[in-house]
Structure 1
Amino acid sequence: MITIQNDKLRATFNNLGAELVSLINIETGKEIMWSGNPDFWSGISPVLFPIIGALKNEQYIFENQTYELPRHGFARRRIFAVKESSENEVVFELTSDEESLKIYPFQFSLEIKYTLAANKLTVDYLVKNLSQKQMYFSLGAHPGFAIDTENGLNYNDYEIAFSNDDELQIHPLVDNLISNQTKTIDLENKVLPLSYELFSKDALVMTNMRSKELILRNNKNHHKVIFIFSNFPYFGIWAAKNADFVCLEPWQGIADLENHNQQLTEKFGILRLEKGGDWTANWAVEII
């Protein structure tokens, strides 16, 4: 475990998956992240790479060869090297190796930088294509934020406010794949009330959400989490059944569509990176 902190926040990470496992408001002692209770979901803030969600039949085809990848890819199960570390910043790096090339035939570097400044944690991603050919990948974040159901609060006291959406177009999941159909959730004053029932059919997956800032808050006190992201065109919101957390998930890419032909180069939302190219994106969480 590696910890960084300033006078406002303390963040702890596991080099397994370069995962953020704790974010504490030092003034209040309050833990912002989900506990990782395996009875519901053992994750806390996994990194999704080089795919997001599930592949059709857990397989993809590239250059006439079939490969298998687990749901959400392999980065969350790999040990990252600590490239740089200071009191309020740490940089993790994962690079391709013989094992990764067997299931993902691209040479790459994935850097994840976590930075604390005042009451904000910023997460920067840098993907480099080290192959001698075009590289295809997706990357997503999956942070789970704790919902306080003690001190007279319950899950239904919480809501998500959107900066620029009056409705959400949701792609339902069918056997972990994305339906081509959509359903609409109307928002009153750009607000989505939380409830356990909201996630009864898995995640809310959106491919055309306009907001780039969300606020997770409850209506009984002034505590809130401001969530901002950049260069992630898709978004997911999810919680395990009856669990006291909610995941806010900015994505570059989504699970396979139901009718996908499994060709990696034709996968909806896949990024293509030229030889020697790089890609960046980020998200940040501000604790109020």
Structure 2
Amino acid sequence: MYTIQSSQLSVSIKTKGAELTSIMHTGNGLEYMWNADPKYWAKTSPVLFPIVGTLKNNTYYYKGKAYQLSRHGFARDMEFEVTDHNEDSITFSIKDNEETAKVFPFQFAFDITYKVEDEELSVTYSIQNNEVSEDMYFSVGGHPAFKLPLVEGTAYEDYSLVFNQRETAGRWPITKDGLIELHPNPLLNDTTILPLSKELFAKDAVVLKHVQSHSVRLQSDKTEHGLEFSFSGFPFLGLWAAPGADFVCIEPWCGIADRMDTDQQLEHKEGIICLPALGSFEVTWKVMFF
């Protein structure tokens, strides 16, 4: 376990999956991360790479060959190497190996950098295509789970997510097999506010595509404490909680689960990123805690 610190935050990350495990605000004494209670969900913030969500039959095809990848890919289960560590920042790294090549036939380097400054945490995903002459196709995303309610004396239903722009956006349903249905259901109608309730997640995650907002606040009128989550550069947003659990995941995604009508060809996958030979890709999400 490694820790980085700012004047207001102490953040812990483990090497397996480069997974965030704790965000403690030393100024107000609040822990913001879910406690990974295995009764509900034994993770806190898995990293999603090289896919986001579920593939149809856990399979994709590339250059005529079938490859199997389980939901959200392999990075969350890999042991990362610490390649840089300062008081306020740390970088974790993995590269392709014989095992990854069996399910993802590309040479790559994947770095995750966590940095704290005052009350803000930033998380940067950096992907390098090390193929000399081949494009690389991939997705990447975050899955951090924040404790809810944040403060004693408040309830889950006291909190809302408040988008920074008015939204009219549907919720894209997820099938029992984890695939995205072809048509959205109504959710947001010219509003900034999504009230939270455990019932909201009774049918799996809330999946949003291409919203106008670039940030969302988790807040309640019963407490001054909350957080502001910035996801500029991520075209998809997932919101999720395990049934009955006291957390909410705010998930910035560059990529999405397969659609029901997918042809399973990797190059055709919705939201897939095509990175040219020897090219690099970088995207950052940030959270301000108060």
TM-score range, shorter chain: over 0.9
2:236 to 228, 234, 237: 234
Cα offset, 1:38, TM superposition: 1.0
- Tell me, yes or no, if the aligned pair for 1:169 and 1:208 is still in contact at 8 Å: no
Q: Structure 1 counterpart of 2:13, which letter?
A: F
How many Å separate the matches in 2 of 1:269 and 1:121?
Answer: 26
Unaligned runs of 5+ residues in structure 1 are none
Q: Residue 141 of structure 2 aligns with which residue?
A: 140
Q: Residue 243 of structure 1 aligns with which residue?
A: 245
Alignment partner of 1:94 is 2:94: yes
Task: Assess, with a 3 A threshold, how the Cα gap between structure 1 residues 189 and 60 changes in structure 2: closer, same or farther.
Answer: closer
Q: Structure 2 counterpart of 1:213, which letter?
A: S
How many Å separate the matches in 2 of 1:166 and 1:24?
Answer: 31
- Tell me, yes or no, if the aligned pair for 1:165 and 1:209 is still in contact at 8 Å: no
Cα offset, 1:123, TM superposition: 0.6
Q: Structure 2 counterpart of 1:237, which letter?
A: L
- Tell me, yes or no, if the aligned pair for 1:169 and 1:209 is still in contact at 8 Å: no
Which aligned pairs between 1:1-288 and structure 2 lie closer than 5 A?
1-132=1-132, 133-148=134-149, 151-175=152-176, 176-186=178-188, 189-288=191-290
- Tell me, yes or no, if the aligned pair for 1:231 and 1:280 is still in contact at 8 Å: no
How many Å separate the matches in 2 of 1:127 and 1:237?
Answer: 24
Unaligned runs of 5+ residues in structure 2 are none
Q: Which runs of at least 4 in structure 1 moved beyond 4 Å after TM superposition?
A: none
How many Å separate the matches in 1 of 2:270 and 2:202?
Answer: 25
Deviates more, 1:160-169 or 1:263-272: 160-169
Secondary structure of 1:165's counterpart equals strand
Secondary structure of 1:223's counterpart equals strand
Cα offset, 1:131, TM superposition: 1.3
- Tell me, yes or no, if the aligned pair for 2:215 and 2:232 is still in contact at 8 Å: no
How many Å separate the matches in 1 of 2:188 and 2:60?
Answer: 35
Secondary structure of 2:200's counterpart equals helix
- Tell me, yes or no, if the aligned pair for 2:168 and 2:191 is still in contact at 8 Å: no
Cα offset, 1:148, TM superposition: 2.1
Cα offset, 1:232, TM superposition: 0.8
Number of residue pairs matched by the alignment: 288
Secondary structure of 1:265's counterpart equals helix
Q: Structure 1 counterpart of 2:127, which letter?
A: V
How many Å separate the matches in 1 of 2:214 and 2:17?
Answer: 25
CA RMSD of aligned residues (A): 1.2
Q: Structure 1 counterpart of 2:80, which letter?
A: F
Secondary structure of 1:113's counterpart equals strand
Q: TM-score, normalised by structure 2?
A: 0.97
Secondary structure of 1:114's counterpart equals strand
What are the superposed Cα offsets for residues 39-83 of structure 1, whole Å, 9 maximum, x if unpaired?
A: 111111110000011000000001111010010000000011101
Task: Assess, with a 3 A threshold, how the Cα gap between structure 1 residues 223 and 150 changes in structure 2: closer, same or farther.
Answer: closer
Q: Structure 2 counterpart of 1:28, which letter?
A: N
Secondary structure of 2:224's counterpart equals coil
How many Å separate the matches in 1 of 2:37 and 2:61?
Answer: 35
Cα offset, 1:187, TM superposition: 5.0
Cα offset, 1:165, TM superposition: 3.0
How many Å separate the matches in 1 of 2:190 and 2:120?
Answer: 28
- Tell me, yes or no, if the aligned pair for 1:254 and 1:268 is still in contact at 8 Å: yes
How many Å separate the matches in 1 of 2:204 and 2:72?
Answer: 15
What are the superposed Cα offsets for residues 151-197 of structure 1, whole Å, 9 maximum, x if unpaired?
A: 32111001000011333311100121000111111357411100011
Q: TM-score, normalised by structure 1?
A: 0.97
